[in-house]
Chain A
Amino acid sequence: DIQMTQSPSSVSASVGDRVTITCRASQGISSWLAWYQQKPGKAPKLLIYAASSLQSGVPSRFSGSGSGTDFTLTISSLQPEDFATYYCQQANSFFTWTFGQGTKVEIK
């Protein structure tokens, strides 16, 4: 099974900061990676799919990059509504999904 490792597990940042979250796959997954945002008590929300494609309606301050085993989610200028937990998800095989353990973005 493909394992997904996110880092860091948490990050403290201020409004306006640039925040970068990384996700590493235990084997190559091409560009079959998504990023989700989840706020407390709410369902996850798709931000980025296919490693770098921005989901409709998602602000352009969110961007994704990478392929193979190493991927990055970047928030270019953190906004108050961006404080949440972020998950990566691999879908290299159409037979199984795997999520990373999550990265909590907290107010500094």
Chain B
Amino acid sequence: KQEVTQIPAALSVPEGENLVLNCSFTDSAIYNLQWFRQDPGKGLTSLLLIQSSQREQTSGRLNASLDKSSGRSTLYIAASQPGDSATYLCAVISGANSKLTFGKGITLSVRP
């Protein structure tokens, strides 16, 4: 059974810092990996999707990398801003039914 882990559960950094959010998964036979952002009480916003054949994807200040063989992905946020404060969730698509399995998320707080 696929399991996705995100550690730590919470992170607080000063504005301007570059930071890395980690995600690990137990079954490396994935099709895709997707990073989401969730603001309190809201739905999920897709940030980046990495297909299994790709190593990384970039969007603005965000860069996501994927190492399938080691079961790891990282989300790099450059020059963090208070508006980046949110919960970031990692999810992988794997298995016979191509189900999306989520980590529990990392709650990021960027201090002004």
Question: Do chains A and B interact in one complex?
Answer: no
Q: Spell out B's residues near A (CB within 8 Å).
A: none
Give the B-binding residues of A (Cβ under 8 A).
none
